[in-house]
């Protein structure tokens, strides 16, 4: 069979045109890179430095009557009940590293905890690390005589409620 030269030229031109279209499509596609260099991930932000609390550890060191409440209407009654606990006070000691010696939730042995501030102005008591961590307790109020705290951990907060510490006698 004899194919005319013009038909053959037209067929070749068509094939070249199709190849050009396919190659053009390939250049606009993003194909995976097989090179050994991987894209760099954004660097993690540096850890937020601990902010000092507006309450100093020496302000809460001493002997305290301790009780707790769930219902805010019980606060006054609970303060009176905490004061009565001064016969068997809860002692907040001074830590060797500038903190205070207290119990964490559900821990039988007290340990040194830090007083930590936050950008919001709230104060916390807890182990070293960022403020408002799961093991921290928020200082709800403190006037020098009465300290009220609440655990950050929801389960501990439900079990312990608002912890009311009433100072027993003068500051230590």
How many domains, the chain? 1
On whether residue 11 sits in a domain, the answer given is: no
Structure-token pair, residue 80: 């009176």
Report the pLDDT averaged over residues 4-8.
Answer: 59
On whether residue 42 sits in a domain, the answer given is: no
Residue carrying the six token digits 């709230």: 122
Structure-token pair, residue 90: 């809860």
Q: What is the pTM of this model?
A: 0.72
Q: Output b/e per residue, 21-52; b: 16+ Cβ within 10 A.
A: eeeeeeeeeeeeeeeeeeeeeeeeeeeeeeee
Between CA 171 and CA 65 the distance in angstroms is 13
On whether residue 66 sits in a domain, the answer given is: yes
136, 148 contact by CB (below 8 A): no
* pLDDT at site 169: 87
Report the pLDDT averaged over residues 85-98.
Answer: 98
pLDDT in tens, 92-128: 999 999 999 999 999 999 999 999 999 999 999 999 9
Between CA 59 and CA 63 the distance in angstroms is 11
Selection from 61, 49, 59, 60 nearest residue 131 by Cα: 49
On whether residue 43 sits in a domain, the answer given is: no
Between CA 24 and CA 148 the distance in angstroms is 71
* pLDDT at site 17: 56
On whether residue 121 sits in a domain, the answer given is: yes
On whether residue 117 sits in a domain, the answer given is: yes
Domain enclosing residue 97, as ranges: 51-167
On whether residue 44 sits in a domain, the answer given is: no
Identify the top-confidence range among 32-36, 48-52, 59-63: 59-63
Residue carrying the six token digits 């009654």: 77
Between CA 111 and CA 113 the distance in angstroms is 6
On whether residue 7 sits in a domain, the answer given is: no
């Amino acid at each position: 069979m004899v194919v005319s030269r013009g038909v053959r030229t037209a067929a070749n031109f068509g094939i070249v045109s199709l190849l050009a279209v396919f190659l053009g499509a390939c250049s606009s596609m993003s194909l995976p890179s097989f090179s050994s260099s991987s894209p760099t991930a954004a660097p993690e932000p540096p850890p937020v430095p601990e902010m000092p609390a507006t309450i100093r550890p020496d302000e809460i060191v001493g002997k305290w009557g301790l009780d707790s409440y769930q219902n805010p209407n019980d606060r006054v009654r609970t303060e009176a009940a905490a004061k009565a606990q001064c016969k068997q006070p809860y002692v907040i000691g001074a830590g060797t590293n500038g903190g205070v010696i207290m119990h964490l939730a559900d821990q039988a042995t007290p340990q040194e905890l830090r007083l930590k501030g936050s950008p919001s102005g709230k104060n916390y008591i807890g182990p070293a690390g960022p403020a408002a961590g799961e093991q921290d307790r928020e200082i709800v109020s403190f006037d020098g005589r009465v300290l009220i705290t609440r655990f950050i951990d929801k389960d501990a907060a439900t079990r312990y409620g608002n912890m009311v510490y009433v100072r027993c006698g003068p500051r230590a």
